[in-house]
A and B are shown apart, each in its own frame.
Chain A
Amino acid sequence: MTGTAAAVLLALCPLLLAGGFLLGRRTAHPAGRSDVGSPVEHATFETLHTASLAAPPLRAGLTEDTARKSARRLRSLLGTDALCLTNRSTVLAWDGTGEHHAKQVMERLAGLLSTGRGAAFDCGCDSVDCPLRWAVAAPIVVDQRVLGALIAYAPRDSAVLARAADEVARWVSVQLELAELDRSRTRVIEAEIKALRAQISPHFIFNSLAAIASFVRTDPERARELLLEFADFTRYSFRRHGEFTTLADELHSIDQYLALVRARFGDRLAVTLQIAPEVLPVSLPFLCLQPLVENAVKHGLEGAVTRSRITISAQDAGAEAEVVIEDDGVGMEPEALRRILRGDAGPSAGIGLSNVDERLRQVFGDDYGLVIETGVGAGMKITVRIPKYRAGVHSSPADHDPT
């Protein structure tokens, strides 16, 4: 092979690369269409989105306030010079020019309000400056009752505007109907949250707030931080979606819990953590470690012990994660513990332990129940094993962005 041939072949190399690159670009940007939307399409969506902004105010019902807020959006939707919203007795909002017409509106609506049929009328305005000559009124109907009317004004009569006003009024009606639905739904959700609140011990809430209050004077900065921790902790505990969480999120919530506990007990409680980062993405049932830590804190600080130490460790063990929660507190009679885990110890004693044990077994199988080592005066060590993967166990991923 001669040198020139080699040079030619070498020159071909970049050409080939460029060809591949162009091919790649063509496949990546097919002309004219994209699966996730071209800029034009995005612009359309944004317009539609802007139009939908009129909806939220209406979803709180038809009042002067909400009518004023939505009238502006509805007018830009219809593209008219003026738009008026009324209820059955009075004008709620006027948007645009020619507000002097508002006085006569209600007289013109008598027929509409009784029959529920749309109407069009000439304004009969004397003012030369006023551009409004013609109006179309459409009823707002919820549950077959006429709640009010939407009136659009224009310089001259227009079939398009009449039709558009009718459609917009219909849409407003639907929004108001949904507002009715919303109100009943809110009541249901509040009942749910009340039920969930029962999961967190009221004592803990009172004690935490008392501890925070004690810092308000002496150390306002600390009190502020603790309040934020408290807010975060309760938000996590009250969250309503999903049965599973990640170990990272659960540990984070435990950290906040401990910060609040330490605010109360100060130096009496020492906490040691050993966390292997490899196991942080592991999925596990929501709120199944926090009760164990709460239990350890309770045992550790019970009795006349002056200082208590709690150790929490999460280790990587092949296809499993191993979480150990250990305290050096008063411990427990093994027989009493057995009763608790069987669930015959009455409602007050360690309901958290049996609940966690049950949930773990339910999700991961009987091999994965709590392992508890304890004795009177010997502290307590709880071991939880969590498989790194189990079909059907998926949490929403960690929301702490690593970047």
Chain B
Amino acid sequence: MNEAYAIPAVAVVVLATVLIGGFGLRISRTTSDFYVASRTVGPSLNAAAISGEYLSAASFLGVAGLVLVYGPDMLWYPVGYTAGYLVLLVFVAAPLRRSGAYTLPDFAEGRLESRQVRTVVSVLVVGVGWLYLVPQLQGAGLTLQILTGAPRWLGGALVAAVVVLAVAAGGMRSITFVQAFQYWLKLTALLVPAFFLLLAWHRDGGAPPAFPAGPELPSSGAGTGQPIATSRADHPLYATYGLIVATFLGTMGLPHVVVRFYTSPNGRAARRTTVFVLALIGFFYLLPPLYGWLGRLYAPELTHAPDADAAVLLLPGRTVGGIGGDLLGALVAGGAFAAFLSTASGLTMAVAGVLSQDVLPARGVRHFRLATVLAMTVPLGGTLLVSAVPVADAVGMAFAVSASSFCPLLVLGIWWRRLTPPGALAGLILGGGSALAAVTLTFAEVVRSGWLHTLLAWPAIWSVPVGFLAMILVSLATPGHIPPHTSATMTRLHLPESLTVRQTAAAAEGGGTGTRAEAGSTGTREGP
């Protein structure tokens, strides 16, 4: 790979992000433009922003890498990442927006009227955020190493530094525009090279579009996440179902996803936004399978390399070659950095917000900066300490924790009136806590093989039922603790805006008819 092109590409992406973030809305407006300036974010723009923030290193690099090594069964990852939004749409989107909550702790406090639940949710949000940040930083390290041969830690440190500086300096002011831009950038960065790769494939005689068989088992040796690979090979069906449960149910609880829904003006718009998100990320996910397949055709030796995650970066150079290949490679590298930056900054903002509000003692702008540094330092330390797990698998674990804690909280909180704070606590701690413990043990490689390892690496399949059951059973056992305003909260969550809004209009109208009626009756009194 030619670094003469790639490094400027990465630099341009970083610069563009900072510039759009910092100056996007500094453009002054006069009152005549007020409507333009104050228009709420529409569903399509917000959807692009959500997608831009959501499509992380796992989507950009990880999926294609896993498909290349383990075959098309790995495509359950992108399917799950997408279908998670469908589950979010049908059970959560509109009521969550109508709750007025900005973060998950806000939702928990508003629905259950308990500070304790809020605290536990905050801790879990931070945990999930950190789990999700680790693979982003790892991916950045890998990318920079392949581009320049720099040591692994440098890329992660670079992304961490850029994000902390941008977020802490208040540079991410127009975050919606930044993230929307990142979506289109990422899409372009995979779409254009894919087009040329397909041309090259056609030029080479166009082997039939069948998926070539790979090695039955990945080679032994110091490969990435070896125990996970072995477990997957031993219990493929369990691993698949585990990952389906985690991704389908985990999306709704990801901290950076929840925060973006606040931007929708109302519940109806939140629903429409989610449909747009489904379409946008669904379209994006058409590309990684192509890369995985082309990887098997053109770079089969990568299946044995420890860094299959790099396949997307290396393919243009191998397949197209020449200056064109270098330029396309630079484009992909830029897109990859966009992926790290957008997801990492979104997560850092969300985690820092929770840290500054619920964990650090005092409030204020300076504490938000401190929280930002803290939000980034821990996962950065994590990347240096823990052994490498494939990017997509690591993200899958964050999903598992979210699915076993936040999914029961949101679904039962929105649809079940008898949920009580003790029940929610039990579910969060038993479901989310056990999943978090399982994932931590996997990262720490305490158990390296056998069924136990498999159960710990894909915990969602048992921890999600545990979370739901604990929440339901303990709630039923503590009927005296149902929050006093449950009925009012439920009404707010589910009542369509057309009703609440018409109330305003009716009140205004009522004032008018009152006066008019008086004039009318005076008239009739004069009549007879």
A contacts B directly in the complex (CB < 8 Å)?
yes
Instruction: Please list the residues of chain A having a beta carbon within 8 angstroms of any beta carbon in chain B.
Output: 60-61, 63-66, 186, 189-190, 193, 235, 238-241, 248, 251-252, 255, 258-259, 262, 270-278, 280-281, 283, 315-319, 367, 388-389, 391, 393-394, 396-400, 402
Given contacts A63-B524, A241-B503, A318-B368, contact A190 B514 (CB under 8 A): yes
In contact, A391 and B109 (Cβ under 8 angstroms): yes
Indicate with 1 or 0, residue by residue over B252-265, a CB within 8 angstroms of chain A CB atoms: 00000000001111
Q: CB within 8 Å of A: which of B12-57?
A: 25-26, 28-31, 33-34, 37-43
In contact, B31 and A271 (Cβ under 8 angstroms): yes
In contact, A315 and B173 (Cβ under 8 angstroms): yes
Select which of A61, A252, A316, A399 is within 8 A of B504 by beta carbon. A399
B264 → A minimal CB distance (Å): 8
Indicate with 1 or 0, residue by residue over B494-528, a CB within 8 angstroms of chain A CB atoms: 00010011011101100100100110110011011
Q: Within the assembled complex, what's the spacing in Å between the Cα atoms of A259 and B35?
A: 13
In contact, B517 and A397 (Cβ under 8 angstroms): no
For residue B431, CB closer than 8 A to chain A, the reply is: no
The 3 A-B pairs with the shortest beta carbon distances in the complex, nearest first, are A388-B102, A389-B106, A319-B353
In contact, A396 and B500 (Cβ under 8 angstroms): yes
Given contacts A239-B504, A277-B41, contact A319 B357 (CB under 8 A): yes
Select which of A239, A274, A388, A397 is within 8 A of B37 by beta carbon. A274
For residue B389, CB closer than 8 A to chain A, the reply is: no
For residue B343, CB closer than 8 A to chain A, the reply is: no
With both beta carbons as reference points, the residue of chain B lying nearest to A252 in the complex is identified as B38
| A367 partner residues in chain B, CB cutoff 8 A | 363-364
In contact, B527 and A318 (Cβ under 8 angstroms): no
In contact, B356 and A240 (Cβ under 8 angstroms): no
Q: Within the assembled complex, what's the spacing in Å between the Cα atoms of A389 and B352?
A: 16
| A278 partner residues in chain B, CB cutoff 8 A | 41, 174-176, 262-263
Indicate with 1 or 0, residue by residue over B385-420, a CB within 8 angstroms of chain A CB atoms: 000000000000000000000000000000000000
Given contacts A240-B507, A281-B265, A367-B364, contact A316 B175 (CB under 8 A): yes
Given contacts A248-B265, A277-B39, A278-B175, contact A319 B507 (CB under 8 A): no
In contact, A238 and B40 (Cβ under 8 angstroms): no
Q: Within the assembled complex, what's the spacing in Å between the Cα atoms of A315 and B103?
A: 18
Q: Within the assembled complex, what's the spacing in Å between the Cα atoms of A27 and B364?
A: 50
| A258 partner residues in chain B, CB cutoff 8 A | 31
Select which of A190, A271, A317 is within 8 A of B170 by beta carbon. A317
Select which of B40, B98, B103 is within 8 A of A389 by beta carbon. B103
| B34 partner residues in chain A, CB cutoff 8 A | 251, 255, 273
In contact, A398 and B265 (Cβ under 8 angstroms): yes
Q: CB within 8 Å of A: which of B159-201?
A: 170, 172-176
Given contacts A277-B38, A367-B363, contact A65 B527 (CB under 8 A): yes
In contact, B40 and A280 (Cβ under 8 angstroms): yes
For residue B481, CB closer than 8 A to chain A, the reply is: no
In contact, B511 and A238 (Cβ under 8 angstroms): yes
A157 → B minimal CB distance (Å): 34
Q: Within the assembled complex, what's the spacing in Å between the Cα atoms of A276 and B24?
A: 10
12 contacts between A and B (CB under 8 A): A235-B508, A272-B30, A273-B28, A277-B41, A283-B100, A315-B170, A318-B349, A367-B364, A389-B110, A397-B500, A399-B501, A399-B505
With both beta carbons as reference points, the residue of chain B lying nearest to A365 in the complex is identified as B363
In contact, A394 and B100 (Cβ under 8 angstroms): yes
Q: Within the assembled complex, what's the spacing in Å between the Cα atoms of A319 and B351?
A: 10
Q: Within the assembled complex, what's the spacing in Å between the Cα atoms of A277 and B175?
A: 10
In contact, A239 and B269 (Cβ under 8 angstroms): no
Known interface pairs A258-B31, A275-B25; 5 further A-B residue pairs with C-beta atoms within 8 A, sorted by A's residue number: A238-B511, A239-B504, A274-B29, A280-B41, A397-B98
Given contacts A318-B352, A389-B102, contact A259 B265 (CB under 8 A): no
In contact, A239 and B103 (Cβ under 8 angstroms): no
| A276 partner residues in chain B, CB cutoff 8 A | 25, 173-174
In contact, A388 and B262 (Cβ under 8 angstroms): yes
Q: Within the assembled complex, what's the spacing in Å between the Cα atoms of A276 and B30?
A: 15
In contact, A239 and B508 (Cβ under 8 angstroms): yes
In contact, B37 and A273 (Cβ under 8 angstroms): yes
| B525 partner residues in chain A, CB cutoff 8 A | 63
A53 → B minimal CB distance (Å): 16
Given contacts A316-B175, A389-B110, contact A397 B266 (CB under 8 A): yes
Q: CB within 8 Å of A: which of B306-353?
A: 349, 352-353
In contact, B40 and A402 (Cβ under 8 angstroms): yes
Q: CB within 8 Å of A: which of B88-117?
A: 98, 100-103, 106, 109-110, 113
A181 → B minimal CB distance (Å): 14
For residue B210, CB closer than 8 A to chain A, the reply is: no
For residue B446, CB closer than 8 A to chain A, the reply is: no
Select which of B263, B365, B520 is within 8 A of A317 by beta carbon. B365
| B352 partner residues in chain A, CB cutoff 8 A | 318
For residue B492, CB closer than 8 A to chain A, the reply is: yes
| B172 partner residues in chain A, CB cutoff 8 A | 316
In contact, B507 and A241 (Cβ under 8 angstroms): yes
With both beta carbons as reference points, the residue of chain B lying nearest to A388 in the complex is identified as B102
| B363 partner residues in chain A, CB cutoff 8 A | 367
| A271 partner residues in chain B, CB cutoff 8 A | 30-31
In contact, A239 and B40 (Cβ under 8 angstroms): no
In contact, A400 and B173 (Cβ under 8 angstroms): no
- A271, A275, A389 interface centre (most CB from chain B within 10 Å): A389
Indicate with 1 or 0, residue by residue over B436-477, a CB within 8 angstroms of chain A CB atoms: 000000000000000000000000000000000000000000
In contact, B511 and A274 (Cβ under 8 angstroms): no
